[in-house]
Amino acid sequence: MKIGITCYPTYGGSGVVATELGRILATRGHEIHYISYSVPFRFRDDLLNTNYHEVEVTTYPLFKYPPYDLALACKMLEVIEAHDLDLLHVHYAIPHAISAFLARQMNPNRRIRFITTLHGTDITIVGNDKSYYPVTRFGIQQSDGVTAVSNFLRVETRRLFEIERDIEVIPNFVDTQRFRPDPNPCLRQRVAPGGERVLLHMSNFRKVKRLPVVLRTFARVAEKLPARLLLVGDGPERASSEELARELGVHDRVLFLGKQDSVERFFQAADLFLLPSEFESFGLSALEAISCGVPVIGARGGGLPELVEDERTGFIREPGDADAMGEAAIDYLESTSRQEEMRAWCREAAVESFEESKIVGQYESYYDRVLEAVC
């Protein structure tokens, strides 16, 4: 198939999923055309059948807000026609589903099919905002196919937007070779030279990630055990997190590491991963942790419990309950036998249920079904 893929190309789970999906599809013989405003950050140009088309947004003094969504629609149409695409697959509803809709309408004879994958905040936060609600609803309704990364997100989308259309659940996936346990990570020696326990959080530091709960959970652990907290990523909550770390008296044990490449080495160096988000539609970083054999501490609610099985691949506690999360962490870190069995269960879960080739196969079958249904 010739497939156009549009996503946000910068850091973020939806961009990672879209880019990795394109990479794997290309290795399976499909022709992939990424269409975005810059090169997706995990883009690999060493694959022969992978192309990148840049959307250029012309500005003009009249345009206080240059219309990216329109420029994207035009670029989509150009690529559809020039490369005879079979399908457009857009990731994150806003504005990508609307641009795809426009591209389809602009050439009614060609009528490209488009699939929208919902990732989470495009529905629960941005799409649900009244400035974007009707257009998001319209984009979802008009898509030839819609997928969501968890059952939670599927149900939530249908509820919030009062729609009944089919939404296929296809979870996030992981490269279990890249994200695998490393029994001897040298990074661990550097960050915890005294043999301290290592807790990790990695995100875009937005409010939804609940950085205060991460820090309070860690503070509880640090009262009892020698420990370090690694914070990987950056975003609006960083400054207030540094302040809270000082208030809690743990700033000397918290390492703010900023945005990083090769993130697998941080998972490999960790004992536990903390992701207590308010609503995590799936939790790609939690899956990467689990694949490295690292259990996850998270909150009940959202899609995380579809990935993290309580007391098996992690610990699910009530949202915001840092005390309970801290207690779970301490119990786990104090029991070597528990650590051994849970680390094995994590690895098994990632390989059995979320291995990339298995999940990408689900996307391929879904593409076939959508194309057959509308032919």
Can you give the binding site for ligand GMT, defined by CB under 6 A?
Answer: 12-15, 17, 92, 119-121, 149, 172, 204, 206, 208, 277, 279-284
Which residues make Cβ contacts (< 8 Å) with residue 163, sequence separation at least 6?
137, 140, 141, 157
* CB 284 to ligand GMT: min, Å: 4
* CB 234 to ligand GMT: min, Å: 13
* CB 93 to ligand GMT: min, Å: 10
Residue (26 or 202) nearer to ligand GMT, CB: 202
User: Phi and psi at residue 53, in whole multiples of 5°?
Assistant: -120, 120
Which residues make Cβ contacts (< 8 Å) with residue 38, sequence separation at least 6?
9, 10, 54
Dihedral angle of Cα 262, 264, 269, 272, to the nearest 10 degrees: 130
Residue (86 or 364) nearer to ligand GMT, CB: 364
User: Minimal CA–CA distance to 15: which of 91, 68, 69, 89?
Assistant: 91
Residue bearing tokens 């960083």: 238
Residue bearing tokens 């198939």: 1
Residue (19 or 121) nearer to ligand GMT, CB: 121
Do 346 and 313 meet the contact criterion of CB atoms below 8 Å apart?
Answer: yes
* CB 260 to ligand GMT: min, Å: 16
Q: How many CA atoms lie within 13 A of 206 on its CB side?
A: 10
Residue (151 or 189) nearer to ligand GMT, CB: 151
* CB 302 to ligand GMT: min, Å: 7
Residue (55 or 307) nearer to ligand GMT, CB: 307
